[in-house]
Structure 1
Amino acid sequence: MQRPLPARLLTAAAALLLLVLTACSGAAEPPPKDTRAPTAPTGVTATAGSATTVHVMWSAATDDRAVTGYAVYQEGRRVRELPATTLMTDVVGLAPATRHAFTVRARDAAGNTSPPSATVAATTLPANAEDRTPPTAPRSLRATADGSRAATLAWTPSRDDTRVTAYDVYQADTRVHTAPGAATTARVTGLRPGTAYAFTVRARDAAENSSPDSPRVELTTAPAPGAPPNTAPENLTATAGKGEITLTWTPPDTGGPVTHHELHLNGRFATTIVWGTTPPPGRATYTFPVQDPPGTRYTITLRARLPDGTWGDFSAPRVVVVGARSDSGRP
């Protein structure tokens, strides 16, 4: 006959079981609270672009986790909130011929805010509502890749009946930089390694009249160390016809036939171009319909499917306007 365990042994066993269950429960410690603020943004500049606007730019701040956004302050009053990917903005609605001071702060996901940046100032230009003549387009645009993440652009100055107050740099159809009116060079940062880019420059005067685009210039940034060769389609052209757009390009050399290309419009996937048989040699052509009204702008890029089934690098973008002169792909 089995005897029952003494009460003291039962008590000890229960305590041991409780200890084991507690240890095995796997209750994780909560992550430490993020109390460290980002660093203050550096390299802040302010440039008057007109009688009522100032263009503010800065270099990215750092954080022990991640910067999630920036706030721009005018005379201590917050005037702009921007995502972490944006390192420039226009402050608008300012008084003409007036000095304005700006600072920038970074923030993280926990709401920690950096100290303010150094204060920079700019004086808006005198108002000239009668000026309706835009500057001439900048000429002789040149571009040089500065490693894998930056590029330097240079151009011949524009002319204006009053004076040029700013130059706006566009990557495809998006403004990515603004330089003062006396400048003839600009350095564009934040680029991706081994990527094809197309840039244009427009001049602007104090009345916000913008010139036509300069001739386009293209470059490919240096690849990251150990990265494979660039696999972007080359020499893409885009021609707008009545209700359609026609593309031509040279597929990348992948060591085999390229049977699939992805078409992206305005940064979004649109369709996959597939040849059911052996693709044509040399230049490829594809025409697709568009139903948008005249004046609609498209930014077009292509990438090819590689023999291993992955998608290659994007082509340099092309901007085409429905019902207007097409982006032929020639600088």
Structure 2
Amino acid sequence: MRRHTVLVRRSLTLCAALALAASCGRGGSGDDGGRLPAAPTGMTAAAGSATSVHVMWNAVAAAPRVRVYEVYRGTTRITEVTGSRHMVDITRLAPSTSYVFTVRARDTAGRLGPAGQVVRARTPAAVAADASAPTRPGGTRGRVLGSREVELSWSASTDDRAVVSYDIHQGSSKIHSVGAARTSTVITGLRPGTAYAFTVRARDAADNVSAPGGTVRLTTPGSDDGHTTAPTAFRAASHRAGGAYYLDLSWVPPGADGVIAEYQIRLDGQAATSLVYGGNAQRAKASYSFYAGRAAGVTHRLRIRARLPDGTWGGWSAERTVTTGTHSGSRP
């Protein structure tokens, strides 16, 4: 009888452990026992025109890291963006229509986290034959709030129909958008010790965009040695084709709040070439090859840096050396 009791207790303990494991595994597709990504916070949605809505959220810190954010309209997934981004313009919408959006984070292990708060936006009515852009925003000004954020403000623009939204640019990059009811905003995700130049443009329902308002120049306090913004796992090798030698580079793009589409390559201490991916930026791992001449046994020094989504250049990668006629270059 005693032996039977011990076996029963062991069986119950095993069943409880299995039940707990099954419960912990619910909702995830991985088997490494990690936690699901958190729900995105700070969700906002604002109409950008009669057919578009700008959706934003705060980046989610997760381990493993977030691979993509999935954006839903109602219960339908309509798009996804890389984990380095936390904003998206939803286009091809209907005028005079209310929409509901949510965002969920999916990590590199494939686990999908819960949805963030529901946000709502209504597109304005369509405007036929409108070719007039709004007036440029006036009185643009700004102030530094900290080493990674600033506040911008401006005077409202006017339009022959109505202003729908304001686009904020840093250099040539659009980095933010707010609805027409707002004439100020806080820009986050900046770098310490960095000079910035911001402009604001007004947009109407027909997607006519104004000329930029005055440039606001601000410098965030602190210092940034570039280490966290430099490409990592940088490698250099050489191959021969058609009687010539080529240098083969590979790297992991730096983490940033946006897509990195431009790089600068430094060869033997001099700027060698700029690499622009446009809309086809490589995100998890990037690579590039370029002509190095016909002579074998020539040693080159190489570094690479990225233009970050905030419009500034990040730090340089570690330097690598490679000799033409060999198959591999220096490694860390």
* TM-score bracket relative to the smaller structure: 0.5 to 0.7
- Give the match for residue 114 of structure 1: 113
String of CA shifts for 1:41-75, please: whole Å, max 9, x gaps: 01111111111111111111222331222011001
Structure with higher Rg: it is 1
Cα deviations by residue, 1:121-178 (Å, 9 ceiling, x for unpaired): 1111111122110001112211212111111101111111111110000111111110
Shift of the 135–32 alpha-carbon distance from structure 1 to 2, 3 Å rule, reads: same
Checking the alignment, whether the CA contact within 8 Å between 2:172 and 2:311 is kept in structure 1 is no
4+ residue segments displaced more than 4 Å: none
Q: Name the aligned partner's letter for residue 269 of structure 1.
A: Q
Aligned to 1:82: 81
Match of residue 162 from structure 2: 163
Amino acid at match of 1:53: S
TM-score by length of 2: 0.59
Query: Are the structure 2 counterparts of residues 270 and 210 from structure 1 closer, same or farther at C-alpha, using a change threshold of 3 Å?
Result: farther
Matched, 1:149 2:148: yes
TM-score between both structures, scaled by the size of structure 1: 0.59
Instruction: Provide the rounded CA distance (Å) in 1 between the counterparts of 2:174 and 2:33.
Output: 35
Structure 1 unmatched runs, 5+: 1-30, 229-265, 276-309, 319-331
**Separation in 1, partners of 2:111, 2:311:** 38
Task: Name the amino acid aligned to 2:200.
Answer: V
Q: CA deviation at 1:270?
A: 6.5
Q: In structure 2, the residue corresponding to 1:162 is in which secondary structure? A: coil
What is aligned with 1:41? 40
Query: How much has 1:197 moved relative to structure 2?
Result: 1.2
| 1:152 partner amino acid | E
| Structure 2 residue 92 is the aligned partner of structure 1 residue 93 | yes
CA contact (8 A) 2:43 2:117 kept: yes
CA distance in 1, matches of 2:107, 2:166: 32
Q: CA deviation at 1:82?
A: 0.5
Q: 2:286 corresponds to which residue?
A: none
Match of 1:234 in 2: none
- Distance change (3 Å), C-alpha of 1:271 and 1:141: farther
Report the CA distance shift for 1:72/1:219 in structure 2 as closer, same or farther (over 3 A).
same
SS of the residue corresponding to residue 59 of structure 1 reads coil
SS of alignment partner, residue 207 of structure 1:
coil
Structure-1 residue corresponding to 2:23: none
RMSD: 3.4
Give, in angstroms, the shift of residue 267 of structure 1: 4.2
Q: Check the 8 A contact 2:164/2:180 in 1, yes or no.
A: yes
Whole-angstrom CA distance in 2 between matches of 1:116 and 1:216: 37
> Hey, what's the Cα distance between the residues in 2 that align with 1:165 and 1:149?
28
2:205 is equivalent to residue 211 of structure 1 = no
Asked if the contact 1:67/1:109 (under 8 Å) is kept, the reply is: yes
Whether 1:268 and 2:267 are equivalent positions in the alignment is no
Alpha-carbon distance in structure 1 between the residues aligned to 2:147 and 2:126: 41
Instruction: For 1:107, give the aligned amino acid.
Output: R
Tell me, which stretches of 5 or more residues in structure 2 are unaligned?
A: 1-29, 226-260, 271-302, 313-332
Aligned length: 219
1:59 aligns with 2:58: yes
1:250 corresponding residue in structure 2: none
Measure, in 1, the Cα distance between the counterparts of 2:311 and 2:82: 24
Residues 94 and 317 (structure 1), Cα distance of their counterparts in 2 relative to 1, 3 Å cut: closer
* Map 1:280-319 → 2, pairs under 5 A: none
Change in Cα spacing, 1:101 to 1:140, as seen in structure 2 (3 Å) is: same
CA distance in 1, matches of 2:107, 2:35: 9
User: Are the counterparts in 1 of residues 34 and 63 from structure 2 also a CA contact under 8 Å?
Assistant: no
Deviations 1:59-109 (A, max 9, x none): 112223312220110011111111112111111111111111100001110
The 1:65–1:317 alpha-carbon spacing in structure 2 relative to 1, beyond 3 Å, is closer
Offset of 1:120 from its aligned partner? Answer: 1.0
Q: Give the Cα–Cα distance (whole angstroms) in 2 for the partners of residues 268 and 93 of structure 1.
A: 32
- Is 1:179 equivalent to 2:174 in the alignment? no
Query: For the residues of structure 2 that align with 1:218 and 1:143, how far apart are their CA atoms?
Result: 8
Cα contact 1:35–1:112 (8 A) shared by 2: no
Q: Does the Cα contact within 8 Å between 2:98 and 2:121 map onto a contact in 1?
A: yes
Displacement after TM superposition at 1:317 (Å)? 6.5
